[in-house]
Chains A and B, each alone.
Chain A
Amino acid sequence: MESEKRNKKIQSTMKSSRKYAKGKSNFIFENKSCVEDVGRYLEKGAECLKSKSDTHADESPALQRDEGDGESVPEMAVEDTYPASSNMTCVSTVQRFHVNIELDIMAVMLFLAGLATRMYRLEEPRSIVFDELHYGKYVSLYMKRTFFFDSHPPFGKQLIAAVAYLAGFDGQFKFDRIGSSYSETVPLFALRLVPAVCGSLIIPTTYHLMLELGLTQWTAALAGFLLLCDNAMLAQSRFILMESMLLLFALFGLLCILKFRRYHYHPYCLQWWLWLSLGAASLTCALCVKYVGFFSCCLGASVVGRDCWRLLSDRRLSDGAILCQLLTRLLVLTAIPTAIYLTIFYIHLAVLSRAGPHDSVMTSAFQASLEGGLASITRGQPLEIAHGSQITLRHSHGRTCWLHSHAHVYPIRYPDKRGSSHQQQVTCYSFKDVNNWWIVKRPQRNDLVVSQPVDAIRHGDVIQLVHGMTSRALNSHDVAAAMSPQNQEVSCYIDYNVSMPAQNLWRVDIINRDQVGDIWHTIESLVRLVHVNSSQALKFSGRQLPDWGFNQHEVVTDRILHQDDTVWNVEEHRYTKNEDQKDRERELVNAEMIPLRPTSLSFWEKFLELQYKMLFANQENVQNHMYSSEPLEWPFMARGIAYWVSPHSNAQVHLLGNLVVWLSGSVSLILYSILLTFYLIRRRRHCYDLTPDTWYRFVVVGEVLLLGFLFHYVPYFFVERTLFLHHYLPAFTFKVLLMAALVEHLHHVFCETLSWRLGLAVFKLLAGAWLVAVLVVFRRFSVLSYGTIPLSAADILRLRWRDSWDFILHRQ
């Protein structure tokens, strides 16, 4: 009886499946045989199931393998090694077997469809599209092994660079501006290949993910189809951009974690280890493509965490066994990510060994460890700062500049009527200059020569700093600074005889003396110069002086010692040999250093510095970008992003999603929340509308997909940076999956719970119409995703369905 019912169900799904598959073939596949394949396998599956349900519990694995095709064997091998232990799982294996055959054909079809859409005329447009400007540039720098600084982690760029390297890209192309065309030597196909393949792989991955959530293969295929037919996903996968990789790793990681879940009751088996570590690895990769991947990691962790919590309630296990399991998971989930993260950065730093344009972001030590650049200047400098050392002092963190002075004085009065000391200006100057040189002097000695043995300066010593070109000493006093009145002014002391004595003693605080020792070292020692009279530290204030200070940056002293802006280090250094002031000046002007010994930093030092800069560096913010958008606008797709426009015609690439998918996704999000609340309230009143099985599936979907959406969406409300529509894509993916799950749930409700024929029919009709609408809209807007077809102004205006969409039109 029961088996009959099940057969019926399968037949009905088969019918709908044929319909659905045919509908699809009209648009994407010309290959009819493929569709028929599905049908055939379906029938096979049904037959198989029928025979199986007769024999019921003791099914033979051999039979399964007979029925399956070659591709599904490895999948089933997994099943074979773990014969079902209880009746319950047995039934599910039966169903899963049925699924397995479907799954591969369907997944392969989805993948092929994805490939076909993503790779179609991949090399067009043959010009720089949007952020290819950045990512392409980074890839070319990888080719040239030149160091660059980016606040995103490097894995995505490395993948693309690896493929580009194999394709023989030499990195010589200059990525100068969006829209300029690629030269013939650029293997554009190879550069765009990785994102496109990843973008296609996303679709079968979501398909499997949905199956793993306990949904039917048709729902899973629906989810895949919706992602396939989204224009934003398409456009984002076709160019050298990071999102498709990020999404693939995140979704695959989640899939692994869900597969891992299946072995909840079989800890420590091979699959258990495999899926757990694969999941951890893949999620870490997502993190290493963009830091947004962190939210995916959180989602994965929350799924594992929930399982752990359930595990606790299992009274059959002893405390020790549970502790052991928890610790193993914790170990795997920390060790693997750490290892991968470090490896990726190790490769990054090992490959990029040459000095390049972004050096100045890093500290002197880091720069000196790169080939060329600073290293060629500082090599062979004396190590220890001593009395008589000539040095340049660099502001270590944040903006690159050197302590500077010149023969100009502070204006007597500022515009706000405050007075100044009228002494020689001291600034922080962002360019190399002869006026950046200072001579270190002990207060009690009067000569300025380094004598043997070298009188090295140690932590805590009090020194004076004499400006090389003007021979005046660095001084500070209780006069409000020019731009930061709450701080003291710093000047080079001129004695006007106005009862304002020199206060030019500074105490050297070596901050990292634990690592580099008590003696002040070139480059490595980070020092804080504390003014002896006022106990305030020399600080770069971040403000720019007006014209009278040549727009250089202000230097002050500050009461608060412990801050990044009070940290300085010696960059260039040599010993003074000559006592005569004129000779010294000549020496300063003509000096050139001979490289002798390279500075080298360990991986750890470089890694930690790079991390610090990546996470805390003030990112330059593109304020008021024309196509930036707000998180609230995303669900309704109020704005797109113009990626590229052809210089000759109105052909253009514009990031814009499939409006039908986006809007219905948002609606389904709301609908799901309403239903969830409704069911919860009903259950609280002990009215159980759903069967436990349906309810469980409904909740699991919410736990993974709704949570996934929230994890990837809500944090953006607290982000200060300029945001773009493509930041929404991870959240969008989860939204689409939730929508597919909701469709199945509604179908189920109409079918089983309400058993309301008319409703079901209407629902099916609506769903069909909706799918057709998705396809139609996809096709209409695909011109904007591909950018290959020249459009007339009228065409563009016809596509402008919303006033807030700003397409680009050339004027006649």
Chain B
Amino acid sequence: MENCQKINEVTKNVKKSRVGLEENKERNNQTYWWLVFGAVLLLTAWSRFHKVSEPDHVCWDETHFGKMGSWYINRTFFFDVHPPLGKMLIALSGYLTGYDGRFAFEKPGDKYEGVNYVGMRVFCTLLGACIVPFAFIIVWEMTHSLTASTLSASFILCDVGILTLTQYILLDPILLFFVMGSVLGMVKFHSCKDRAFSFSWWAWLVFTGIMIASAISVKFVGLFVVILVGTHTAADLWDVLGDLSKPISYTLRHFLARAVCLIFLPALLYVIFFYIHLVVLNRSGNGDGFYSSAFQSQLEGNSLYNASMPREVAYGAVITLKNHRTGGGYLHSHWHLYPEGVGARQQQVTTYTHKDDNNLFIVKKYNSELMDDDDDAVEIVKNGDLIRLEHVTTRRNIHSHKEMAPISKKHYQVTGYGENGTGDANDVWKVLIVDGKEDESVTTVSSKLKFIHYLQHCVLTSSGKQLPKWAYEQQEVSCNSNMRDKNALWNVEDNIFPKLPNVSFAVYAPSFLERFFESHAVMFQGNSGLKPKEGEVTSRPWQWPVNYRGQFFSGNSYRIYLLGNPVIWWGNLVFLAIFLIIFAYNSVREQRGYLDPPSVKESKHRVFSACGWLFLGWALHYVPFWAMGRVLYFHHYFPALLFSSMLTGIILNYMLDSISRLLPKRMANGMYHWFIGVIFSATVYSFYLFSPLAYGMSGPSASDPNSTMYGLRWIESWEF
């Protein structure tokens, strides 16, 4: 009996001590984890902030984003193809650190000379630096393997390319930060799944929502990470749905929570960012011309701001016509004729982007001159009316006939014709209001108009193509028989007619939503307009992963060259391939019905699902570029690179684990550590070798045998 009790006690004690041991081990592990994490943080901080203020001149695209930051500080309106958040953050950081927005950022290589630029650099670098710890935590959450996390973080830490890209006033560090933040939120949220609807669950969900909204508000490339998070969420929901122990309403709650935090919240944030953008930029600037007349009337300093003119267009009114195309000019004519050999030798008609007296036209009836001045009867121009447009300065009518237009050979030429306002039947145009009702009056600014030539049945179009010198490089105007041409829309901008009362322009003020949508239309058009010119050498997607060619950040004596650390990049490629092979092999094995022991199976499952998501992330951030027609740059690959680097860390660790499992224990331990050592030292050494690319090189270029970098020019296409 006593014996029994004793034994019991002993076992209890043993158990207790075992629990204690495990706790101890746990605690040990945790301290260990924090130690490693701390080391990563320190190294990151040191590597990123080293020489952050050098070079002290404008580098590469700093000229754009620095300039845009200044515009935000000066509140002048501009146009850019990217959404506003990144630039607003740059501006904010500049504002807070005392940059006054005076520096011109004219071209790369301009000296800063006393300008407070360091604040903006430090801010971008800080965001860029966060990528490394983010990667560490992401991989940790996905695999719970300290080695894998450290490997992944170190690959990102030691990549010279990421270091270079995140040290300057650019959108990319901000974008990368938000992309990694989104993934971090996604995995953190996933690991809270057994604590559904708890505080941390909600917190991470909201965090993810904010991050994806920010990512897509920096550059549209952020859309890819949104898709990644969306897919992950859908998969998550699918799991929830498959849990038959919970009622369907439970799934519904999950769905609603995600819809609110990952769809509505981000959409709202996105709109808010644009709201701030449009509210802050309230002064006229160089971006005005891209927007419609109504939009421009909202900008202080624009000639349309607070203007007032008659609401409706009457016969006899002096008007200007603006083409509705983005960046479209005003219909224009001047005393010069088309040169010999370009259609009929009549007066030129063009569009001109600046305001000028030659943009003024009088609206007249097609068959009669104007009534006398004292007659008070005012006749408004209606939808479908036949009119003439007489140029005020030269008194010639807008005219078209069956001659080829100067550049668009399929269109008819448009000229100024007639003497003192009398021309011929080819001067008659039919006014159509787009989507207008019959007998609707033509109004200033808000009516979208088409002018259809009555005899030739073609529509007055501004092709946007530049004419040669004889027309002072203004843009071509022609008459197109394709009535659906998108460039055939015009609107009346100025309307001078004393007999009608003037109305304040405020009535045309577009609402925020209208301005929001117009900004998007303009941005997309701008984006699709970024086509490579014939003969121009652009970077192609296949070149990126192989690190084929870099990008100069700073040219002169102090050279910075954006190029990935080749050891890491090529390693990434190899391990990507290895992952695919292992994955395919495993799937086939599984399909063939070979089973693994449960312990192996679980770890495998964890590794493969982690790698699968990272691979999807890589593919989403890389493959779409193959289908893009616009100009592409090397730095577009960096988001994909982050995913690829994390994947490398995980798969490397998995391989080391699997190999060491095959070997006898003692040997395995040795080999494992030996390999880890080799990998780390190779990574760090390659970083040391290539770090001058990021921290600046001077002396002769690497093609010169005397240069210190001569031996590092492993591929001929590297130009540092």
Contact = CB atoms under 8 A, between A and B. Distances in A.
A684 B238 contact: yes
A724 B16 CA distance: 78
B485 interface: yes
A274 to B, nearest CB: 28
B241 interface: yes
A624 B409 CA distance: 12
A580 interface: no
Contacts of A535: 703
A5 interface: no
Interface stretch (B100-108, B275-283, B529-537): B529-537
Interface string B452-494: 0000010000000000110000000000011111000000000
B593 A313 contact: yes
The listed residue with most B CB atoms (<10 A of its CB), out of A484, A547, A685, is A685
B105 to A, nearest CB: 21
Contact of A565 (B468, B481, B535): B535
| Size category of the binding interface on chain A | 20 to 34
Interface string B553-569: 00000000000000000
Contacts of A559: 719
Contact of A313 (B469, B537, B592): B592
B667 interface: no
Chain A interface SS verdict (over half)? loop
Interface in B221-241: 238, 241
A685 B485 CA distance: 52
Contacts of A618: 534
Nearest to B528: A720
A681 interface: yes
A495 B140 CA distance: 70
Interface in A320-350: 322
A560 interface: yes
A498 to B, nearest CB: 26
A319 B535 contact: no
A21 B133 CA distance: 72
Nearest to A718: B627
Given A312-B592, A685-B244, A686-B244, A626 B537 contact: no
A685 B627 CA distance: 39
A542 B535 contact: yes
A635 to B, nearest CB: 19
A624 B537 contact: no
Contacts of A685: 241-242, 244, 248
A315 B536 CA distance: 57
B3 interface: no
Interface in A717-752: 718, 720
Contact of B537 (A547, A558, A686): A558
B599 interface: no
A415 B468 CA distance: 12
Contacts of A678: none
Contact of A626 (B238, B482, B703, B719): B482
Contacts of A130: none
A768 interface: no
A615 B160 CA distance: 37
B213 to A, nearest CB: 25
Interface string A539-577: 111110011000000000011101101000000000000
A309 interface: yes
Contacts of B481: 626
B591 interface: yes
Given A319-B592, A541-B535, A720 B244 contact: no
B533 A542 contact: yes
Contacts of A811: 457
Interface string B611-643: 000000000000000010100000000000000
Interface string B89-104: 0000000000000000
Given A543-B534, A684-B238, A720-B629, A624 B468 contact: no
A685 B717 CA distance: 57
A626 B484 contact: yes
Contacts of B629: 720
Contacts of A626: 481-482, 484
Interface residues of B, number: 27
Interface string A470-499: 000000000000001000000000000000
B130 to A, nearest CB: 34
Contacts of A543: 533-535
Interface string B565-596: 00000000000000000000000100111000
A98 B72 CA distance: 77
Contacts of B484: 626, 806
A484 B244 CA distance: 67
Nearest to B589: A312
Interface in B533-556: 533-537
A624 B483 CA distance: 11
Contacts of B536: 542
Contact of A540 (B485, B535, B593, B717): B535
Contacts of B457: 811
Contacts of A322: 592
Interface string A670-685: 0000000000010011
B537 A560 contact: yes
Nearest to A563: B537
A571 B717 CA distance: 30
A685 B238 CA distance: 10
Contact of A309 (B244, B534, B591): B591
A559 B457 CA distance: 51
Interface in B201-224: none
Contacts of B591: 309, 312-313
Contacts of B468: 546-547
Interface in A407-433: 415
A560 B535 CA distance: 12
Contacts of B533: 542-543
A535 B704 CA distance: 12
Nearest to B624: A718
Contacts of B241: 681, 684-685
B717 A562 contact: yes
B291 to A, nearest CB: 24
A714 B703 CA distance: 46
Nearest to A625: B482
Interface in A673-717: 681, 684-686
Contacts of B717: 560, 562
A597 to B, nearest CB: 36
Nearest to A627: B482
Q: Which of B485, B588, B592 has the most CB of A within 10 A?
A: B592
Contacts of A542: 533-536
Contacts of A806: 483-484
Interface in A781-812: 806, 811
A322 B593 CA distance: 14
Contacts of A539: 535
Contact of A315 (B248, B482, B593): B593
B177 to A, nearest CB: 29
Interface string B285-314: 000000000000000000000000000000
A309 B592 CA distance: 10
A718 B483 CA distance: 26
Interface string B233-263: 0000010011010001000000000000000
Contacts of A624: 482, 485
A289 B604 CA distance: 47
Nearest to B628: A718
Contacts of A686: 244
Given A484-B535, A542-B534, A685-B244, 10 more contacts: A313-B591, A543-B533, A543-B534, A543-B535, A546-B469, A560-B537, A560-B717, A626-B484, A685-B241, A811-B457
20 contacts: A312-B592, A313-B593, A319-B592, A484-B535, A539-B535, A541-B535, A542-B534, A542-B535, A543-B534, A543-B535, A546-B468, A546-B469, A560-B717, A626-B482, A681-B241, A684-B238, A684-B242, A685-B242, A685-B248, A720-B629
